[in-house]
Amino acid sequence: MIQPDRGSRALAGLVAQVAKWIHGSIVPIALLAALAGFTASQAFAWTKWDDADKWWTKGGTLNVYVEDPPAGAPAGTSAAVDEAIKEWNDAQAPFGGLKLVRQDTSSDDKKKEAKKTADIHISWTGATDSETNKKDAVDKTSNGFTKETVRVGIKTTGNSNAITRRLKHEIGHAEGLDHDARSALMRENAYSKTNAGPTLADLNSADPFISPTDDDKAGKKSMWGTTKKLSESEDASGAVFNGTNWVYDYNVHALDLPGLTDPVTEFSIQLLSGIGLGDFSVTGIPTGWHSVFFDGNIIPGGEFSDDGADPSPSVLSFLADLPSFGIQPGQTFNFELASPFAPGNTRAFTNSPSFDSDEFIIQAPSRAPEPSTLALLASALAGLVTTWRVRQSAVTI
Ligand SMILES: [Zn+2]
Protein backbone atom coordinates (compact mmCIF):
# COMPACT_ATOMS: atom_id res chain seq x y z
CA MET A 1 0.00 0.00 0.00
CA ILE A 2 1.39 3.34 -1.01
CA GLN A 3 1.37 5.95 1.72
CA PRO A 4 1.88 9.20 -0.18
CA ASP A 5 1.29 11.37 2.86
CA ARG A 6 3.71 9.56 5.15
CA GLY A 7 5.72 12.74 5.57
CA SER A 8 2.76 14.81 6.66
CA ARG A 9 1.64 12.05 8.98
CA ALA A 10 5.07 11.95 10.55
CA LEU A 11 4.94 15.72 10.93
CA ALA A 12 1.51 15.53 12.50
CA GLY A 13 2.84 12.87 14.88
CA LEU A 14 5.72 15.12 15.86
CA VAL A 15 3.34 17.99 16.49
CA ALA A 16 1.16 15.71 18.59
CA GLN A 17 4.18 14.70 20.67
CA VAL A 18 5.17 18.30 21.18
CA ALA A 19 1.59 19.14 22.09
CA LYS A 20 1.62 16.36 24.70
CA TRP A 21 4.84 17.70 26.12
CA ILE A 22 3.42 21.17 26.27
CA HIS A 23 0.34 19.98 28.13
CA GLY A 24 2.56 18.71 30.92
CA SER A 25 4.87 21.67 31.13
CA ILE A 26 4.96 25.35 31.78
CA VAL A 27 5.49 27.08 28.46
CA PRO A 28 5.08 30.62 27.23
CA ILE A 29 1.60 31.32 25.93
CA ALA A 30 3.13 32.64 22.70
CA LEU A 31 4.62 29.22 21.98
CA LEU A 32 1.30 27.55 22.73
CA ALA A 33 -0.44 29.93 20.37
CA ALA A 34 2.12 29.45 17.62
CA LEU A 35 1.91 25.68 17.88
CA ALA A 36 -1.88 25.74 17.87
CA GLY A 37 -1.91 27.85 14.74
CA PHE A 38 0.42 25.39 13.06
CA THR A 39 -1.46 22.27 14.03
CA ALA A 40 -4.71 23.86 12.92
CA SER A 41 -3.42 24.41 9.42
CA GLN A 42 -2.33 20.77 9.27
CA ALA A 43 -5.53 19.38 10.66
CA PHE A 44 -8.19 21.17 8.64
CA ALA A 45 -10.50 18.52 7.47
CA TRP A 46 -14.16 18.80 7.69
CA THR A 47 -13.52 17.25 5.31
CA LYS A 48 -10.75 19.20 3.61
CA TRP A 49 -7.76 16.97 2.90
CA ASP A 50 -4.62 18.85 3.94
CA ASP A 51 -3.83 21.35 1.16
CA ALA A 52 -6.44 19.97 -1.25
CA ASP A 53 -8.02 23.41 -1.61
CA LYS A 54 -4.96 24.36 -3.68
CA TRP A 55 -5.39 21.51 -6.16
CA TRP A 56 -8.26 22.99 -8.14
CA THR A 57 -9.88 26.36 -8.72
CA LYS A 58 -13.33 27.50 -7.64
CA GLY A 59 -15.99 26.50 -10.15
CA GLY A 60 -13.38 24.63 -12.17
CA THR A 61 -13.96 21.90 -14.73
CA LEU A 62 -11.79 18.82 -14.16
CA ASN A 63 -10.99 16.32 -16.88
CA VAL A 64 -11.18 12.72 -15.72
CA TYR A 65 -9.04 10.16 -17.51
CA VAL A 66 -10.40 6.65 -16.97
CA GLU A 67 -8.26 3.62 -17.83
CA ASP A 68 -10.08 0.83 -19.63
CA PRO A 69 -11.50 -1.57 -17.01
CA PRO A 70 -9.51 -4.83 -16.90
CA ALA A 71 -11.01 -8.05 -18.21
CA GLY A 72 -11.80 -9.33 -14.72
CA ALA A 73 -13.76 -6.23 -13.63
CA PRO A 74 -17.48 -6.73 -13.03
CA ALA A 75 -20.01 -5.69 -15.63
CA GLY A 76 -21.08 -2.12 -14.98
CA THR A 77 -17.62 -0.89 -13.96
CA SER A 78 -17.48 1.80 -16.61
CA ALA A 79 -21.07 2.89 -15.91
CA ALA A 80 -20.15 3.18 -12.23
CA VAL A 81 -17.63 5.89 -13.13
CA ASP A 82 -20.34 7.88 -14.91
CA GLU A 83 -22.68 7.47 -11.95
CA ALA A 84 -20.10 8.59 -9.38
CA ILE A 85 -19.16 11.61 -11.51
CA LYS A 86 -22.80 12.58 -11.93
CA GLU A 87 -23.42 12.23 -8.20
CA TRP A 88 -20.70 14.71 -7.26
CA ASN A 89 -21.53 17.06 -10.15
CA ASP A 90 -25.20 17.15 -9.14
CA ALA A 91 -24.27 17.79 -5.51
CA GLN A 92 -22.17 20.83 -6.44
CA ALA A 93 -24.20 22.33 -9.27
CA PRO A 94 -26.47 24.45 -6.99
CA PHE A 95 -23.47 26.43 -5.71
CA GLY A 96 -21.25 26.37 -8.76
CA GLY A 97 -18.62 23.95 -7.49
CA LEU A 98 -16.35 21.61 -9.40
CA LYS A 99 -17.56 19.90 -12.54
CA LEU A 100 -16.04 16.57 -13.57
CA VAL A 101 -15.95 15.65 -17.26
CA ARG A 102 -15.02 12.14 -18.35
CA GLN A 103 -12.61 12.23 -21.25
CA ASP A 104 -12.95 10.32 -24.53
CA THR A 105 -10.43 7.48 -24.39
CA SER A 106 -12.00 5.31 -27.09
CA SER A 107 -8.84 5.06 -29.21
CA ASP A 108 -5.09 5.28 -28.76
CA ASP A 109 -5.08 8.73 -30.38
CA LYS A 110 -7.87 9.93 -28.09
CA LYS A 111 -6.02 8.54 -25.08
CA LYS A 112 -2.88 10.42 -26.07
CA GLU A 113 -4.85 13.62 -26.53
CA ALA A 114 -6.72 13.16 -23.24
CA LYS A 115 -3.47 12.82 -21.30
CA LYS A 116 -2.61 16.41 -22.23
CA THR A 117 -5.50 17.83 -20.24
CA ALA A 118 -6.32 15.20 -17.59
CA ASP A 119 -6.68 16.37 -13.98
CA ILE A 120 -7.86 13.16 -12.32
CA HIS A 121 -6.63 9.72 -13.39
CA ILE A 122 -8.73 6.69 -12.50
CA SER A 123 -7.14 3.28 -12.83
CA TRP A 124 -7.98 -0.23 -11.60
CA THR A 125 -6.03 -2.09 -8.95
CA GLY A 126 -7.38 -5.64 -9.18
CA ALA A 127 -7.33 -7.13 -5.69
CA THR A 128 -5.21 -4.35 -4.18
CA ASP A 129 -7.05 -1.90 -1.92
CA SER A 130 -8.48 1.26 -3.42
CA GLU A 131 -6.51 4.44 -2.83
CA THR A 132 -6.42 8.10 -3.71
CA ASN A 133 -3.10 9.87 -4.04
CA LYS A 134 -2.69 13.56 -3.42
CA LYS A 135 -2.07 15.64 -6.52
CA ASP A 136 1.46 14.89 -7.70
CA ALA A 137 3.78 14.67 -10.71
CA VAL A 138 3.94 10.87 -11.05
CA ASP A 139 1.65 10.77 -14.10
CA LYS A 140 3.58 13.66 -15.61
CA THR A 141 7.02 12.16 -15.16
CA SER A 142 6.20 8.50 -15.74
CA ASN A 143 2.91 8.01 -17.55
CA GLY A 144 2.84 10.51 -20.41
CA PHE A 145 0.45 13.01 -18.84
CA THR A 146 1.00 16.74 -19.24
CA LYS A 147 -0.27 18.06 -15.90
CA GLU A 148 0.03 16.98 -12.30
CA THR A 149 -2.87 14.70 -11.46
CA VAL A 150 -4.75 13.17 -8.57
CA ARG A 151 -4.46 9.43 -9.12
CA VAL A 152 -7.30 7.22 -8.00
CA GLY A 153 -6.90 3.43 -7.94
CA ILE A 154 -10.09 1.43 -7.62
CA LYS A 155 -10.16 -2.19 -6.49
CA THR A 156 -12.16 -4.34 -8.91
CA THR A 157 -13.01 -7.16 -6.51
CA GLY A 158 -16.73 -7.66 -5.90
CA ASN A 159 -19.79 -6.71 -7.89
CA SER A 160 -20.75 -3.45 -9.60
CA ASN A 161 -22.25 -2.12 -6.34
CA ALA A 162 -18.83 -2.39 -4.74
CA ILE A 163 -17.25 -0.55 -7.67
CA THR A 164 -19.83 2.24 -7.46
CA ARG A 165 -19.43 2.60 -3.70
CA ARG A 166 -15.65 2.75 -3.90
CA LEU A 167 -15.80 5.33 -6.69
CA LYS A 168 -18.23 7.62 -4.87
CA HIS A 169 -16.01 7.60 -1.81
CA GLU A 170 -12.67 7.97 -3.63
CA ILE A 171 -13.86 10.71 -5.97
CA GLY A 172 -14.92 12.56 -2.81
CA HIS A 173 -11.23 12.45 -1.81
CA ALA A 174 -10.05 13.42 -5.31
CA GLU A 175 -12.08 16.61 -5.06
CA GLY A 176 -10.53 17.44 -1.71
CA LEU A 177 -12.56 15.84 1.08
CA ASP A 178 -10.85 13.93 3.85
CA HIS A 179 -12.36 11.18 5.98
CA ASP A 180 -15.08 12.64 8.17
CA ALA A 181 -16.96 10.92 10.99
CA ARG A 182 -19.83 13.33 10.34
CA SER A 183 -20.34 12.14 6.73
CA ALA A 184 -22.00 8.82 6.03
CA LEU A 185 -20.24 8.74 2.66
CA MET A 186 -16.77 10.03 3.57
CA ARG A 187 -16.23 8.36 6.94
CA GLU A 188 -13.78 5.48 7.10
CA ASN A 189 -16.56 3.01 7.86
CA ALA A 190 -18.91 4.23 5.15
CA TYR A 191 -21.37 1.50 4.15
CA SER A 192 -20.40 -0.56 7.20
CA LYS A 193 -23.03 -1.47 9.76
CA THR A 194 -20.41 -1.63 12.51
CA ASN A 195 -17.61 0.50 13.93
CA ALA A 196 -15.19 -1.32 11.65
CA GLY A 197 -14.38 -0.40 8.09
CA PRO A 198 -16.67 -1.82 5.41
CA THR A 199 -16.17 -5.38 4.29
CA LEU A 200 -16.51 -6.54 0.73
CA ALA A 201 -19.97 -7.86 1.64
CA ASP A 202 -20.92 -4.35 2.82
CA LEU A 203 -19.80 -2.88 -0.49
CA ASN A 204 -21.50 -5.59 -2.53
CA SER A 205 -24.77 -4.98 -0.70
CA ALA A 206 -27.95 -4.19 -2.61
CA ASP A 207 -28.75 -1.47 -0.02
CA PRO A 208 -29.36 2.05 -1.34
CA PHE A 209 -26.26 4.07 -2.16
CA ILE A 210 -25.21 6.93 0.10
CA SER A 211 -25.28 10.33 -1.52
CA PRO A 212 -23.03 13.27 -0.57
CA THR A 213 -24.21 14.64 2.77
CA ASP A 214 -24.87 18.23 3.83
CA ASP A 215 -21.40 18.38 5.38
CA ASP A 216 -19.78 17.09 2.21
CA LYS A 217 -21.58 19.83 0.31
CA ALA A 218 -20.50 22.45 2.86
CA GLY A 219 -16.91 21.37 2.36
CA LYS A 220 -17.20 21.44 -1.40
CA LYS A 221 -18.91 24.83 -1.38
CA SER A 222 -16.29 26.28 0.93
CA MET A 223 -13.47 25.05 -1.30
CA TRP A 224 -14.99 25.31 -4.77
CA GLY A 225 -18.32 27.16 -4.73
CA THR A 226 -18.84 30.30 -6.79
CA THR A 227 -22.30 31.42 -5.65
CA LYS A 228 -22.73 34.09 -2.99
CA LYS A 229 -23.05 33.06 0.61
CA LEU A 230 -26.51 33.29 2.16
CA SER A 231 -25.22 32.82 5.68
CA GLU A 232 -22.12 33.95 7.49
CA SER A 233 -21.19 33.32 11.08
CA GLU A 234 -18.64 33.98 13.76
CA ASP A 235 -17.95 32.43 17.12
CA ALA A 236 -16.75 33.94 20.36
CA SER A 237 -15.78 31.12 22.67
CA GLY A 238 -13.91 30.63 25.86
CA ALA A 239 -13.19 28.20 28.65
CA VAL A 240 -13.28 28.93 32.37
CA PHE A 241 -12.35 26.61 35.24
CA ASN A 242 -15.03 26.78 37.95
CA GLY A 243 -13.12 24.82 40.58
CA THR A 244 -14.56 21.47 39.51
CA ASN A 245 -14.93 21.50 35.77
CA TRP A 246 -13.96 23.44 32.75
CA VAL A 247 -16.96 25.25 31.31
CA TYR A 248 -16.76 25.73 27.56
CA ASP A 249 -18.85 28.57 26.25
CA TYR A 250 -19.57 29.01 22.53
CA ASN A 251 -21.49 32.01 21.27
CA VAL A 252 -22.31 31.48 17.62
CA HIS A 253 -23.44 34.65 15.89
CA ALA A 254 -25.11 34.83 12.48
CA LEU A 255 -24.08 38.04 10.76
CA ASP A 256 -26.82 40.42 9.69
CA LEU A 257 -25.52 41.85 6.43
CA PRO A 258 -27.15 42.52 3.05
CA GLY A 259 -27.75 39.27 1.17
CA LEU A 260 -27.39 37.05 4.21
CA THR A 261 -30.81 35.48 4.59
CA ASP A 262 -30.14 31.90 5.71
CA PRO A 263 -29.97 30.80 9.34
CA VAL A 264 -27.09 28.83 10.83
CA THR A 265 -28.47 25.35 11.46
CA GLU A 266 -25.36 23.43 12.50
CA PHE A 267 -22.43 24.06 14.83
CA SER A 268 -19.93 21.18 14.91
CA ILE A 269 -16.80 20.71 17.01
CA GLN A 270 -13.99 18.36 16.00
CA LEU A 271 -13.13 16.65 19.26
CA LEU A 272 -9.52 16.25 20.19
CA SER A 273 -7.82 12.87 20.17
CA GLY A 274 -9.02 10.52 22.90
CA ILE A 275 -12.05 12.59 23.90
CA GLY A 276 -15.13 10.37 24.00
CA LEU A 277 -18.79 10.81 24.74
CA GLY A 278 -18.24 10.24 28.47
CA ASP A 279 -15.59 12.95 28.81
CA PHE A 280 -17.91 15.96 28.70
CA SER A 281 -21.54 16.85 29.12
CA VAL A 282 -23.66 19.24 27.10
CA THR A 283 -24.89 21.81 29.62
CA GLY A 284 -26.28 24.47 27.33
CA ILE A 285 -28.21 24.06 24.08
CA PRO A 286 -30.77 26.37 22.47
CA THR A 287 -34.45 25.43 22.26
CA GLY A 288 -35.17 23.43 19.13
CA TRP A 289 -31.62 22.10 18.84
CA HIS A 290 -30.14 18.71 19.67
CA SER A 291 -26.61 17.35 19.86
CA VAL A 292 -25.16 14.27 18.16
CA PHE A 293 -21.81 12.59 18.79
CA PHE A 294 -20.09 11.02 15.79
CA ASP A 295 -17.44 8.51 16.76
CA GLY A 296 -14.31 8.78 14.62
CA ASN A 297 -12.60 5.83 16.26
CA ILE A 298 -12.82 3.14 13.65
CA ILE A 299 -11.58 -0.40 14.12
CA PRO A 300 -8.63 -0.67 11.68
CA GLY A 301 -9.09 -2.48 8.41
CA GLY A 302 -11.81 -2.46 5.84
CA GLU A 303 -12.05 -0.90 2.43
CA PHE A 304 -11.59 2.80 3.25
CA SER A 305 -9.45 2.96 6.38
CA ASP A 306 -6.15 2.91 4.53
CA ASP A 307 -6.94 4.52 1.20
CA GLY A 308 -4.53 7.43 1.45
CA ALA A 309 -6.67 9.89 3.41
CA ASP A 310 -6.25 10.62 7.12
CA PRO A 311 -8.07 9.09 10.08
CA SER A 312 -11.01 11.26 11.09
CA PRO A 313 -11.58 12.83 14.50
CA SER A 314 -14.79 12.35 16.45
CA VAL A 315 -17.27 15.18 16.02
CA LEU A 316 -19.84 16.75 18.34
CA SER A 317 -22.58 18.40 16.31
CA PHE A 318 -25.30 20.76 17.45
CA LEU A 319 -28.16 20.68 14.96
CA ALA A 320 -31.34 22.75 14.66
CA ASP A 321 -34.42 20.49 14.51
CA LEU A 322 -35.83 22.73 11.78
CA PRO A 323 -34.34 25.69 9.86
CA SER A 324 -36.81 27.95 11.69
CA PHE A 325 -35.03 27.09 14.96
CA GLY A 326 -31.71 28.11 13.41
CA ILE A 327 -29.64 31.17 14.31
CA GLN A 328 -31.26 33.84 12.18
CA PRO A 329 -29.14 36.77 10.90
CA GLY A 330 -28.39 39.06 13.81
CA GLN A 331 -28.96 36.42 16.48
CA THR A 332 -26.39 34.86 18.81
CA PHE A 333 -27.02 31.42 20.30
CA ASN A 334 -25.12 29.94 23.20
CA PHE A 335 -23.82 26.37 23.44
CA GLU A 336 -22.07 25.09 26.54
CA LEU A 337 -20.06 22.04 27.58
CA ALA A 338 -18.67 21.03 30.96
CA SER A 339 -15.70 18.72 31.30
CA PRO A 340 -12.95 17.88 33.78
CA PHE A 341 -10.54 18.04 30.88
CA ALA A 342 -8.66 21.25 30.26
CA PRO A 343 -8.77 23.22 27.00
CA GLY A 344 -7.02 22.38 23.80
CA ASN A 345 -7.40 24.05 20.45
CA THR A 346 -9.47 22.48 17.78
CA ARG A 347 -11.63 23.29 14.83
CA ALA A 348 -15.34 24.04 14.69
CA PHE A 349 -17.54 24.84 11.77
CA THR A 350 -21.05 26.00 10.98
CA ASN A 351 -23.43 24.99 8.22
CA SER A 352 -26.68 26.32 6.80
CA PRO A 353 -29.50 25.05 4.54
CA SER A 354 -27.56 26.37 1.51
CA PHE A 355 -24.33 24.75 2.75
CA ASP A 356 -22.62 27.99 3.74
CA SER A 357 -19.97 27.17 6.27
CA ASP A 358 -17.46 29.05 8.39
CA GLU A 359 -14.55 27.61 10.33
CA PHE A 360 -13.11 28.62 13.68
CA ILE A 361 -10.35 27.64 16.02
CA ILE A 362 -11.96 27.11 19.41
CA GLN A 363 -11.29 25.65 22.82
CA ALA A 364 -12.54 22.14 23.60
CA PRO A 365 -11.73 19.43 26.16
CA SER A 366 -8.37 17.76 25.58
CA ARG A 367 -6.82 14.64 27.02
CA ALA A 368 -3.71 15.46 28.99
CA PRO A 369 -1.15 13.01 30.39
CA GLU A 370 -1.26 14.63 33.81
CA PRO A 371 -4.66 16.23 34.41
CA SER A 372 -3.75 17.65 37.81
CA THR A 373 -0.68 19.37 36.42
CA LEU A 374 -2.65 20.53 33.47
CA ALA A 375 -5.44 21.92 35.64
CA LEU A 376 -2.93 24.03 37.52
CA LEU A 377 -1.37 25.25 34.33
CA ALA A 378 -4.71 25.88 32.73
CA SER A 379 -5.96 27.79 35.77
CA ALA A 380 -2.97 30.05 35.53
CA LEU A 381 -3.60 30.64 31.85
CA ALA A 382 -7.38 30.80 32.00
CA GLY A 383 -7.48 34.56 31.77
CA LEU A 384 -5.47 34.43 28.58
CA VAL A 385 -7.08 31.50 26.82
CA THR A 386 -10.61 32.67 27.44
CA THR A 387 -9.99 35.73 25.34
CA TRP A 388 -8.28 33.88 22.53
CA ARG A 389 -10.30 33.53 19.37
CA VAL A 390 -9.05 33.03 15.86
CA ARG A 391 -11.20 33.41 12.80
CA GLN A 392 -9.94 31.28 9.88
CA SER A 393 -10.90 33.67 7.15
CA ALA A 394 -8.58 32.07 4.59
CA VAL A 395 -10.86 29.09 4.16
CA THR A 396 -14.19 30.88 4.07
CA ILE A 397 -15.84 32.40 1.03
ZN1 LIG B 1 -11.27 7.16 2.13
Q: Give the confidence band of 381 by pLDDT, cuts at 50, 70, 90.
A: low
Per DSSP, helices labelled H in the chain are: 6-23, 29-43, 77-92, 108-114, 138-142, 160-174, 200-204, 214-224, 371-385
In angstroms, what is the span from residue 192 Cα to ligand 1's centroid?
A: 13
Q: Are residues 254 and 289 in the same domain?
A: yes
Buried b (16+ CB within 10 A) or exposed e, 288-306: ebeeebbbbebeeebbbbb
**To the nearest whole number, what is the mean pLDDT of the chain?**
84
**C-alpha 83 to ligand 1 mean position (Å):** 18
Q: Are residues 218 and 235 in the same domain?
A: no
Strands 343-351 and 266-270 turn out to be antiparallel
Q: How confident is the model at residue 387 (pLDDT cuts 50, 70, 90)?
A: very low
Give the pLDDT of residue 379. Answer: 53
Residue 395 has pLDDT above 80, yes or no: no
**Rounded to the nearest whole angstrom, what is the distance from the C-alpha of residue 169 to the centroid of ligand 1?**
6
Give the pLDDT band of residue 312 (cuts 50, 70, 90): confident
Q: Which of 198, 223, 248 is the last residue of a domain?
A: 223
Q: Is the pLDDT of residue 27 over 60?
A: no
DSSP letter string over 37-99?
HHHHHHH--SSB-TTGGGTS-TT-EEEEEEPPPPTTSPTTHHHHHHHHHHHHHHHHGGGT--E
Ligand 1 centre distance from Cα of residue 307 (Å): 5
For residue 48, tell me if it sits in a domain: no
Q: Cα torsion at 288, 387, 339, 286 (round to 10°)?
A: -10
Of 162, 188, 223, the last residue of a domain is: 223
Identify which has the larger pLDDT, 42 or 367: 367
State the distance from the centre of ligand 1 to the C-alpha of 312, rounded, in angstroms: 10
Which residue range forms the structural domain that includes residue 91?
54-223
Boundary of a domain, candidates 223, 238, 257: 223
Q: Separation of 387 CA from ligand 1 center, angstroms?
A: 37
**Å from CA of 358 to ligand 1 middle:** 24
* Mean pLDDT score, 262-281: 96
Which residues, by Cβ under 5 Å, contact ligand 1, an ion? 304, 307, 309
State in Å: Cα 286 to ligand 1 middle.
34
- Looking at the structure, do residues 89 and 151 belong to the same domain, yes or no? yes
For residues 209-228, average pLDDT:
94
* Ligand 1: centre distance to CA 201 (Å): 17
Q: Across the chain, how many H-helices and E-strands are there?
A: 9, 15
66-96 pLDDT, tens per residue?
A: 999 999 999 999 999 999 999 999 999 999 9
pLDDT for 19 equals 40
